[in-house]
Amino acid sequence: MTAALIAVAVLAGLLAVPVNVDFRCEGIEPLGGQVTIRWLFGAVALRVPLRRASSRSSDSRAQPPAGRAPAIGAARRRRGNAVAILRQAEFRRRVLRLLRDLVAAARFHELRLRLRLGLGDPADTGQLWAFLWPLATAAHNLRNADVRIEPDFIDAAFEFRAAGRLRLIPLQIIALAIGFILSPVSIRAWRRLASRHA
């Protein structure tokens, strides 16, 4: 029992040490860029390349891969799930609170972000933008930040570029994530989504 308590205390102490993160990334599928993590005041350094998927041959691009139709159907279901959850006002407020807490916890020394979003349906994009607009407004007020988030009401689009430097405390981020997942609002949202597909 004593050994377990000591192990927990040591782990909590390590997670309380700040982590410095330098990042540069763009795109989603595929994702490209690089993340450099420095921990224990520089004693531990890790560089993680975010490699783009290798380009396919012209023959493979000419013929749709097997299972493409189910993949498209799965993407549409995921989009429908996201829209259904975001329609819940209390869940939207809880997500915005989490995002604000995460931004406050991650002390940005520099941030450059370009994001263009479109769901291919003006109504769905409008609902998504209604959710993102308060976050975009708050991001413009961040110190040392240049943030631009734009909706695309015509086409399905997801253009993403980001670069910056930040410092965070892992224990604080973990606590925020656990609080969000176990909050009554989140649990009710997951249950409603599950009943929707039952």
CA distance 111 to 139: 10
Spell 39-78 as b/e; 16+ CB within 10 A means b: beeeeeeeeeeeeeeeeeeeeeeeeeeeeeeeeeeeeeee
pLDDT for residue 161 is more than 50: yes
Q: Which of helix, strand or coil describes residue 101?
A: helix
pLDDT at residue 64, as a whole number: 47
CA distance 20 to 46: 11
pLDDT for residue 88 is more than 70: yes
Tell me: the pLDDT tens digits for 26-61?
Answer: 876 677 888 999 988 778 889 988 875 544 444 444
CA distance 119 to 173: 29
pLDDT at residue 74, as a whole number: 54
Average pLDDT, the chain: 79
pLDDT at residue 189, as a whole number: 84
Instruction: Note the pTM of the prediction, 2 decimals.
Output: 0.65
Angle (CA) 47 53 54, round 5°: 115
Q: Which of helix, strand or coil describes residue 67?
A: coil
Task: Give the residue carrying structure tokens 């110190």.
Answer: 143
pLDDT at residue 36, as a whole number: 93
Tell me: the pLDDT tens digits for 90-128?
Answer: 888 888 889 888 888 888 888 888 888 888 888 888 877
Question: Average of pLDDT values for 73-99?
Answer: 70
pLDDT at residue 177, as a whole number: 94
Picking from 74-78, 125-129, 141-145, 157-161, which range would have the lowest pLDDT averaged per residue? 74-78
Q: Which of helix, strand or coil describes residue 17?
A: coil
26 neighbors 160 (Cβ within 8 angstroms): yes
pLDDT at residue 62, as a whole number: 44
Question: Average of pLDDT values for 162-177?
Answer: 93
Angle (CA) 83 33 23, round 5°: 85
Cβ atoms within 10 Å, residue 15: 15
